[in-house]
Structures are given as C-alpha cells and as structure tokens.
Structure 1
Amino acid sequence: MSGRNDKREGEEEGWESTFLKVACVAAAAATEPGGLYALFKQPEPEAAQALTGTVTAQIAQRPNKEVWTKPRRGWLKLNVDGSLLPDPLSAGCGDVLRDSSGKWISGFAVKLEPRRHYPDETEKEAIFRGLQWARGRRVKKVVVESDNRGIVNLVKNGSRTINPLICQIRDLLSSGDWKAKLSWIPGNANGVADKLADIAREPDYPPFQLREFDSPPDGVRYALMADGQ
C-alpha cells in the first residue's frame, strides 16, 4: 500500500516538474520571433533538448548578487573579513587578493587579541591590514570588499570620527599613489575571506603574526569552488 502511494506521489511530482519546465521554456521561446512555432515543429526529443538549452541559457544570463564577481581588467580585488566568537573566545581576520581572471594571487590570516576587539573592530582590522598589505605589494588598482555594511558606510560617508582605524582606512583609500575603492558585498559572496578568518581563530594558529598564503590553503578550497574558480 505504501509503495503504491509512493509511486503515485512520484508520478505527480514528475508531472509537475515536466509541466513547469515546459511552461518556463515556452515563455522563453516566445520572446524570440517564431520561437514557439519553430520549437513545436521539432520531433519530441529534439524539442526537449532545445527547451532545456534555452532554459539553461536564460538562467545563466540572470544577474546574481549573492556570488563573488571578478574585478575589471587591470584591477585586483581584495576580499576581507573579521571574525570574533565568544565561545571559545577567539578573534581573527582574513584577506584574499585575486585578479581579473579570478586567479588567487595571495591571501593572509591574522589571529587577533579577542579581549581588545569588538565584532566591528575585527572588520576594521581586516580592511586596514588588507589595504596596508596590498599597498606593500605595490598594487596599483584594487577594489576592497567587506560584508560589514555598517563599517563600509561609515568609511565612505565622510562623517567626522575619532576612531583611529577608520581614519587610517580613509587615508589609505585616498592615497594618491594608487586607486583603491571600498564596497559592500553580501556575506554569501565573501566565503573565501570568511574561511581565512576562521583559520586565524584556530587554537593552534600562531598568534598576532600575519601569515601569507601564496596558494589557497585546504580550508578555503571549497569556498573557492563556490566562487567558480
């Protein structure tokens, strides 16, 4: 009895899936001159293949703001993240530098003193240290991305502040010997920097030393794959 019900549910699910695919593709084909007529004149297998290809192409063209994007040609992208967790109490920051092809150039992770930092302070440290580090590598054009919208807005809105890190970040961004921009990015698109910050918080990670990675460490490889590398 249960097997019959399972089969019926599977059949109904398959019909709904098929109907949805056909409806989506028909809508896509209708946007092209003569698209529907040409589509339904084909034999069933060819029509199904054409439908699938059309839908795939349509989906691929949709913008997705939740994924990491490559910088423009001639620019580099620096993704940063600061992390502070209460149990066990630990703090760290991680940054990654990639080029316009998405290639990993370098990255770093730093364990921070957690008792001296609030959550926002770790993000400021990540931005400040990343800018210093990139400038030290003689980078000439860089887009810096952080997933802390509040800090990004505070840096960019120009309001007066006595916070030394914000002042230093602004000075680095406005320095005349390079072009540097700061932008907000959703957390889902900042996975590589997030994983580097996690590495910095590991109990056996050396404290307070900036450790560079000329190739991706094992802990970030999955995040790199998610970025389409």
Structure 2
Amino acid sequence: MLNDWKRAQQRLPNYTQSQQQNNSKFWSKPPPGWIKINVDAACVPGAGCVGLGCVVRNESGAFVKAISNVLMINMQAREAETLWPSSKRIFESDSKTLVEAVNGNGGASMFDTIAEYCSDLLKHFDEVLVNFVH
C-alpha cells in the first residue's frame, strides 16, 4: 500500500468524462482544484449494523479528513454504500452497483431510490465524478 501511495504522489491523471468507470486498481490523486473522497461500507449479516468510513484527500494527495461511523440498522451492503451525505469532488467506491446507479443506470428497487437520492444530492456540487475502483 505504501508503494501504491508513493506512485500516486508522482503521477497526475488526466481526468475526463470517459474515466467515470476507470476500474483503477491503484489509488491516484485528484487533478488540481479537486478533492477525492474514497468511501466504503460494510455489513455483517444478522448483526443489525452497518460500518461506514471515508477518507478525504486534496489535489496533492495529502490527507484532509477521515470519518467512520456505525449505524444500528439492518440493510444489505449495496444499500449501506448509499448512505454518504452530500466545488469539485471525486467520490470513489468499490461498489460497482452503486456507482452505476448513481451515474444513471438504476432500476426501480429501494436501493435504486436511495441511489437516485444520492445522485440528486450530488447535483449541489459544482463538478462531481463518481468512480468505481477495486
């Protein structure tokens, strides 16, 4: 992980709309003027709780803030991935289903309704990218 982080400090990706689904296996710092927010959620089946966490980094790749929380709620991982609250921001998640739904490829389930709400919240930012990462 340290080597991946060091490599990310040395390169600056050229972000374009076509990179929304970049499927990157390595973290990379955001372009100038952007921040990157990596999010994740975890559920333990039958435990009735969801763990949430995020790390925020600036255009230099420097740590800005981290947040974690446990919610006493019973849901599946894909619903938990949508619980992130709402300039230029890049949100990254390892939930491909969530990223596709937020980017407009959803359906009519409860999950899709939550993802659509997240998508609506993202409209309050100047510029936003929502990417899938491994």
In the TM superposition, residue 99 of structure 1 has moved relative to its aligned partner by 0.6
Give the Cα–Cα distance (whole angstroms) in 2 for the partners of residues 168 and 157 of structure 1: 11
**Following superposition of structure 1 onto structure 2, how do residues 120-139 of structure 1 map, counting pairs within 5 Å?**
120-125=78-83, 128-129=84-85, 132=86
Give the Cα–Cα distance (whole angstroms) in 2 for the partners of residues 94 and 185 of structure 1: 15
Larger Rg: 1
**Quick check: 1:149 aligned with 2:96?**
yes
**Quick check: 1:81 aligned with 2:40?**
yes
In the TM superposition, residue 90 of structure 1 has moved relative to its aligned partner by 3.8
1:173 is matched with: 122
- 8 A contact 2:100–2:106 mirrored in 1: no
Q: SS at 2:114's partner residue?
A: helix
In the TM superposition, residue 92 of structure 1 has moved relative to its aligned partner by 1.0
2:61 is matched with: 102
Identity within the alignment, % = 25
Give the Cα–Cα distance (whole angstroms) in 1 for the partners of residues 123 and 107 of structure 2: 16
Give the Cα–Cα distance (whole angstroms) in 1 for the partners of residues 37 and 120 of structure 2: 17
- 8 A contact 1:173–1:181 mirrored in 2: no
Gaps of 5+ in 2: 1-9, 12-23
Give the Cα–Cα distance (whole angstroms) in 2 for the partners of residues 90 and 160 of structure 1: 25
2:133 is matched with: 185
Question: Aligned AA for 1:169?
Answer: C
Give the Cα–Cα distance (whole angstroms) in 1 for the partners of residues 97 and 47 of structure 2: 26
Distance 1:91 1:162, change over 3 A: closer
- 8 A contact 1:144–1:182 mirrored in 2: yes
User: Paired residues, what number?
Assistant: 111
Between Structure 1 and Structure 2, the one with more strand by share is 2
In the TM superposition, residue 121 of structure 1 has moved relative to its aligned partner by 1.2
Q: SS at 2:120's partner residue?
A: helix
Give the Cα–Cα distance (whole angstroms) in 1 for the partners of residues 48 and 66 of structure 2: 24
Question: Aligned AA for 2:100?
Answer: N
Counterpart selection for 1:113 from 72, 84, 88:
72
Structure 1: which 4+ aligned runs deviate by more than 6 Å? none
- 8 A contact 2:101–2:116 mirrored in 1: no
What is the CA deviation profile of residues 88-112 of structure 1, one whole-angstrom value per residue up to 9, with x for unaligned ones? 6542110111011111111111111
Question: Aligned AA for 1:144?
Answer: F
Between Structure 1 and Structure 2, the one with more helix by share is 1
Gaps of 5+ in 1: 1-59, 133-139, 187-229
**Following superposition of structure 1 onto structure 2, how do residues 218-229 of structure 1 map, counting pairs within 5 Å?**
none
Give the Cα–Cα distance (whole angstroms) in 1 for the partners of residues 47 and 107 of structure 2: 35
In the TM superposition, residue 80 of structure 1 has moved relative to its aligned partner by 0.3
In the TM superposition, residue 161 of structure 1 has moved relative to its aligned partner by 3.5
In the TM superposition, residue 162 of structure 1 has moved relative to its aligned partner by 5.8
TM-score, structure 2 length as denominator? 0.71
In the TM superposition, residue 181 of structure 1 has moved relative to its aligned partner by 1.3
RMSD, aligned α-carbons: 2.4
